[in-house]
Amino acid sequence: SEVLLRDPRKTLDMSWIDLLVSLKACFSRKDRRRVEKELQEILGAEEIVTLSVRSGFDLLLSAVALPKGSEVLFVPGITIPSMVQLVEAHGLQPVGVDPVSPQKMLPATLEQLVTPKTKMVVISHLFGSIHRADHIIKEAKDLGLLVVEDC
């Protein structure tokens, strides 16, 4: 059964047992280094775990310190407003890329979209679907762009 909140329109997509296990994990103390090592073994060395996509994205934008006015492509250009606000707060220019069609959310190539100011591509996997983005990721890396997948 699902955990219901007071407002019947809002539900948590988890069972009571998931909620209880999560609460237990929040209140149990673990050795930080052991947890970091476990996460590194599971995720690999290039991943970081953050509170949310937005907090991780803000941390990333702070760490990479792109030049002011740099463009950040959102592929597709459908995202939550706070992601765009974060880009703007860092002095960067968000650029939304229209989906090719409702069935094809990613463009075939970035060639026509990238300018000398483009420094990062954010690929959003929307509505519970996973887009085949290997070609976009490879092209972006070949162009020297940072790639962020918002899953």
Reported as a single tens digit per residue, the pLDDT across 6-57 is 444 455 556 777 778 777 777 776 666 777 777 777 767 666 667 788 888 8
Overall pTM > 0.75: no
Reported as a single tens digit per residue, the pLDDT across 74-128 is 998 888 888 999 999 999 999 999 887 777 788 888 889 999 999 999 998 877 6
Q: What is the pLDDT of residue 9?
A: 47
Reported as a single tens digit per residue, the pLDDT across 58-76 is 988 999 999 999 999 999 8
How far, CA to CA in Å, does 64 sit from each of 51, 69, 100?
A: 19, 14, 30
